[in-house]
Chain A
Amino acid sequence: MHTETCLTVSDFKPIEPPGMPPVPIPSGTLSRISSAQVPEFVIFSDISPDRTKEAVDRFSQMEERMKRKDELLFAPAIDARLKVHTPFHVRIVPSGGGVSAHAPEIEEFGYGTNRGEALDDLGKTIAELYFSLASERERLSPDLYGVLKSLEEHITRVHP
Chain B
Amino acid sequence: MRLIIIEQVTEKKTLVGVFENLRAASFPIVRPMGFYARLTDLEGHYHFTLRIVRLNGDKEDLMAGAEFNFKSDDRLGTLEIALNLPAVPFTGPGRYEFQLSADDIFIGRAAMNVVAETHS
Contact = CB atoms under 8 A, between A and B. Distances in A.
Interface in A45-67: 45-46, 62-63, 65-67
| Interface of B (DSSP majority class) | strand
Contacts of A72: 104-106
Nearest to A45: B89
A83 interface: yes
A46 to B, nearest CB: 8
B6 A67 contact: no
Interface size class of B (residues with CB under 8 A): 35 or more
Interface string B89-104: 1010001010100001
A104 interface: no
B68 A73 contact: no
Interface residues of A, number: 44
Given A73-B105, A76-B108, A38 B64 contact: no
Contacts of B8: 28-31
Contacts of A44: 62-65
Contacts, number: 118
| Interface of A (DSSP majority class) | mixed
A72 B109 CA distance: 14
B98 to A, nearest CB: 10
A37 interface: yes
A38 B87 contact: no
A12 interface: no
A28 B104 CA distance: 38
Contact of B95 (A34, A42, A63, A114): A114
Interface string B78-120: 0000111111110100010101000011111101000000000
Contact of A40 (B41, B67, B95, B109): B67
Interface in A10-44: 26, 28-35, 37-44
Given A32-B6, A73-B104, A74-B106, 7 more contacts: A29-B8, A35-B84, A40-B67, A43-B88, A68-B60, A95-B58, A97-B58
12 contacts: A28-B8, A29-B9, A32-B6, A40-B66, A43-B87, A62-B65, A74-B106, A75-B106, A99-B58, A114-B60, A114-B95, A115-B58
